[in-house]
Amino acid sequence: MGSKNKLKRFVENESFVNMIQPSREEVLERFPYKGKWNTVFKNDHSIILELGCGKGEYTLALARKYPEINFIGIDIKGARMWRGAKTALEEGLNNVLFLRTQIELLDLCFDNEEVSEIWITFPDPQIKYKRTKHRLINENFLRKYQKILTKEGLIHLKTDSEFLHGYLLGFLHSGKHEVLYAHHDIYNSSSPPEIVKSIQTFYEKQFLKQNKPITYVKFKMNF
């Protein structure tokens, strides 16, 4: 994407009522919507997050399927999020918002037990050991997720990375965490949750064309 197109999208993002873009300083000092997301959505419906949402394909698909639930796509790349926010406005999806911020600040943007589920779809696996701290499913991030999740809150990881799938399962089994479903190839499984197969992102379709297995884990944290 050319720099002019990116700049155009950044400007347009500023006008979107469904796009929230706080500065890092604003989040660190006191994010105004923490614990008050019901006032933004103007209802008390459950909140589900998609982390690293990119263009928001999964966020939008979930929002269309479950209009009685609120969805927030979170990413730092505004030029990509532009597409999701614009589509949501064009379709009149009032149960969708996009939050542009670093995922490491998640627990400063949401209050304790304010979120019911978290989806992590096709994140960068950060395979190199020195990149461990950047994996969205390392212990530090998982503790942040548990903090904002309700007591029965769920986390979903869907990825083409066998490494990431195995890394997560190893971590979960080494602790007292609860694995509710796991499969290393959901399209060759007879019993994956319907929602896992019925929504496919652009990249997921590309992986399937390459015959790459898609893995999925649904779990609960018990730190």
Just give the CATH number of 114-223.
3.40.50.150
pLDDT value at residue 192: 84
Catalytic residue flag (residue 124): yes
Cβ 202 vs Cβ 57: under 8 Å? yes
The catalytic position among 44, 124, 160, 185 is 124
Q: Where in the chain are the domains? A: 1-111, 114-223
Q: Do 1-111 and 114-223 agree at the fold level?
A: yes
Q: What is the pLDDT of residues 82-135, one digit of tens each?
A: 999 999 999 999 999 999 999 999 999 999 999 999 999 999 999 999 999 999
Kindly state the tokens that stand for 106: 């998640």
Q: What is the pLDDT of residues 203-214, one digit of tens each?
A: 899 999 999 999
Q: Dihedral sign for Cα 154, 160, 161, 162, please.
A: positive
1-111 is classed CATH 3.50.50.60:
no
Q: Is the pLDDT of residue 187 over 70?
A: yes
Residue of 116 and 2 predicted with greater confidence: 116
